[in-house]
């Protein structure tokens, strides 16, 4: 891929994807895996996941793609092209497994748009300089088997395939056995295709693009995540008989930490976010001062140093709070991921492609985890976001307008056309 002086040529006639077919297939896949209450549930390696996979494979075949399944169940639809089979492929894709009571766009959009892009390019007479492939990665959601983003993690070499296949699910099943059962325990070694580049198209799952009225997000990085559990211990005294000055109120101390974190993040000039999502008091009685408050802290920033600064600020605050409130504080680290920086040339390409289509774009950060963060370990990678109504995701109310879906797919088409074009 070359981007000379930010001049990216998107030469030739400019094909567009079949809008009606893309939207129809998204709806169609979204009907596969409904339970008796109408809830969409396609947990990884389940019978409903099999049904979804079968539909995806049939659409890949319809696009003339060669199907390959690796040992962790990742599905690849590959257009080898003529005399280009030995080249590193341009890879697009995402995942089709879902959470419980899911929306229809998360993941599926990227896979189905990828199929659509390759089919469109083939039918347009485009002559690629390298193969183009679309992937549906196994178990991105991590609901049934931990960790999430498992298929792409294994593919990128971050977890051994044997270890992953031995994962015991929340329902006591073994992932390896379940993949065998549904016929998606493939034979290819994960990583068998070493991509030239990876581009993942996804719904934003946040409110930024919708609020700003911008159709395309050129995702330049993915936030680092710091999860901690803070436990504050005080004394469970009587709420009536204990004067304020004689209290060791773990609940009050927790409220101070929450207020500190929120105000610090709000006043930050960086995109830092801070969330306290879980809380618990003990003994949790109306007339007893909490002896213990336990809460989680979710800190995110796209810059590793800034994320470290946020963690350090919390640590310092807790150290000062301990003597001030006469409480004992312990902190447990639950998870820590460094930020992922995407490939700047692909990000530029997304901007240029959007501009060519007359679509406004915005450089942005991904606040959620995606397969792209794993594949970024092995090749230049970036993501394209389209708006999510109300920022809602992992919920039946997840929604993106048809026009935004089509616009995003056409930007992906142009980006892929450039990446796989004659250089």
Q: For binding to its own copies (CB under 8 A), which residues are involved?
A: 204-208, 211, 223, 225, 227, 237-246, 249, 251-252, 254-256, 258-259, 262, 265-266, 268, 271-281, 284-290, 296, 298, 300, 334, 366-369, 391-394
Contact 155, 376 (CB under 8 A): no
Q: What are phi and psi of 152, to 5 degrees?
A: -75, -35
How near is the Cβ of 280 to its own copies at its closest, in Å? Answer: 8
Select 46 or 366, whichever has its Cβ closest to its own copies: 366
How near is the Cβ of 326 to its own copies at its closest, in Å? Answer: 13
How near is the Cβ of 285 to its own copies at its closest, in Å? Answer: 5
Going from the C-alpha of 419 to that of each of 83, 177, 263, the distances in angstroms are 17, 38, 43
Burial 265-295 (b: 16+ CB within 10 A, else e): beeeeebbbbebeeeebeeeeeebbbbbbbb
How near is the Cβ of 252 to its own copies at its closest, in Å? Answer: 5
Helix axis angle, 47-62 to 175-182, nearest 10°: 50
Contact 336, 227 (CB under 8 A): yes
How near is the Cβ of 29 to its own copies at its closest, in Å? Answer: 22
Select 177 or 326, whichever has its Cβ closest to its own copies: 326
Nearest to 30 by CA among 96, 93, 100, 94: 96
164's CB contacts (< 8 A; 6+ apart) are 72, 150, 153, 154, 175
Select 129 or 275, whichever has its Cβ closest to its own copies: 275
Q: Please, is 394 exposed, middle or buried when counting C-beta atoms within 10 Å of its C-beta (0-12, 13-18, 19+)?
A: middle
Select 74 or 365, whichever has its Cβ closest to its own copies: 365
Select 58 or 284, whichever has its Cβ closest to its own copies: 284
Select 69 or 258, whichever has its Cβ closest to its own copies: 258
83's CB contacts (< 8 A; 6+ apart) are none
Select 168 or 334, whichever has its Cβ closest to its own copies: 334
How near is the Cβ of 367 to its own copies at its closest, in Å? Answer: 3
How near is the Cβ of 207 to its own copies at its closest, in Å? Answer: 5
């Amino acid at each position: 891929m070359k981007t000379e002086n930010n001049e990216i040529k998107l030469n030739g006639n400019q094909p567009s994807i079949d809008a009606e077919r893309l939207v129809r297939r998204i709806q169609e896949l979204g009907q596969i895996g409904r339970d008796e209450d109408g809830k969409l549930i396609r947990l990884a390696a389940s019978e409903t996941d099999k049904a979804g996979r079968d539909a995806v494979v049939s659409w890949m075949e319809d696009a003339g793609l060669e199907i390959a399944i690796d040992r962790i169940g990742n599905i690849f639809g590959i257009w080898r092209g003529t005399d280009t089979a030995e080249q590193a492929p341009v890879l697009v894709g995402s995942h089709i497994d879902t959470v419980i009571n899911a929306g229809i766009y998360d993941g599926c959009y990227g896979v189905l748009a990828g199929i659509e892009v390759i089919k469109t390019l083939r039918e347009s007479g485009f002559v690629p300089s390298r193969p183009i492939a679309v992937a549906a990665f196994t178990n991105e959601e991590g609901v049934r088997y931990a960790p999430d983003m498992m298929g792409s993690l294994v593919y990128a070499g971050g977890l051994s395939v044997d270890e992953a296949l031995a994962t015991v699910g929340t329902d006591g099943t073994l992932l390896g056995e379940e993949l065998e059962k549904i016929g998606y325990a493939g034979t290819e070694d994960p990583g068998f295709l070493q991509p030239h580049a990876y581009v993942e198209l996804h719904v934003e799952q946040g409110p930024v693009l919708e609020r700003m009225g911008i159709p395309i997000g050129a995702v330049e990085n993915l936030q680092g995540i710091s999860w901690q559990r803070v436990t504050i211990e005080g004394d469970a005294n009587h709420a009536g008989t204990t004067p304020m000055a004689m209290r060791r109120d773990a609940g009050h101390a927790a409220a101070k930490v929450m207020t500190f974190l929120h105000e610090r993040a709000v006043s930050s000039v960086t995109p830092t976010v801070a969330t306290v999502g879980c809380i618990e008091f003990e003994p949790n009685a109306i007339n007893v001062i909490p002896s213990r408050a336990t809460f989680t802290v979710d800190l995110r920033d796209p810059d590793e140093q800034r994320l470290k600064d946020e963690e350090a600020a919390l640590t310092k605050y807790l150290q000062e709070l301990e003597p001030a409130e006469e409480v004992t504080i312990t902190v447990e680290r639950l998870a820590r991921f460094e930020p992922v920086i995407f490939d700047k040339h692909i990000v530029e390409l997304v901007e240029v492609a959007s501009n060519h289509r007359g679509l406004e774009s915005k450089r942005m950060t991904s606040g959620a985890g995606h397969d792209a963060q794993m594949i970024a370990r092995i090749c230049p990678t970036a993501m394209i976001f389209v708006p999510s109504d109300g920022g809602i995701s992992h919920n039946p109310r997840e929604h993106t307008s048809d026009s935004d879906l089509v616009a995003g797919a056409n930007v992906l088409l142009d980006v892929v056309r450039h990446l796989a074009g004659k250089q």
